[in-house]
Amino acid sequence: MAIIHGRQLIVKKNGTAIAVQKSCDIDVRCAAVHVSSPTQGQWENNIAGRKSWSMTCNTLVTSIRSNVNMVGQTVNISCGVGNDTVSGTALITGWKVTGTIGNLAQAVATFVGNGPLT
């Protein structure tokens, strides 16, 4: 088993690499559904509920206008190395730019999954 280095992860939006990606966070969750047990009446039990996922990418800014216009769009997104890749359809819910004196402008793009991450 090989360790995956962060610089090897490439996030693609509609098949095109997101410009100068610095980091990526993928958050996959499963809801806990509370159930009761006839033998443990005072204690809560849980079963797996619906799954959801989201992704946040930190990038260097290459364009302001085109990135502002992408908020609200649904895109196909994938992340991985070679054949070890996950992909899905996501809504772009946010894009935040930070510019500081003496540094390159950076942005954070936020994606919320629509359906499975496969």
The domains of the chain are located at: 6-114
Number of residues that this document lists for the chain: 118
CA 34 vs CA 38, 43, 51: distances in Å: 14, 10, 15
CATH of range 6-114; options 3.40.630, 2.40.30, 3.90.1200, 1.10.10: 2.40.30
| β-bridge partners, 58 | 23, 108
Residue 112 scores a pLDDT above 90: yes
pTM (two decimals): 0.80
Question: For the segment 74-111, what is each residue's pLDDT rounded down to a tens digit?
Answer: 998 888 777 788 889 999 999 999 999 999 999 898 99
> Under a CB-based contact definition with an 8 Å cutoff, are residues 5 and 23 in contact?
no
Question: Rounded to whole angstroms, how far apart are CA atoms 40 and 51?
Answer: 26
| β-bridge partners, 100 | none
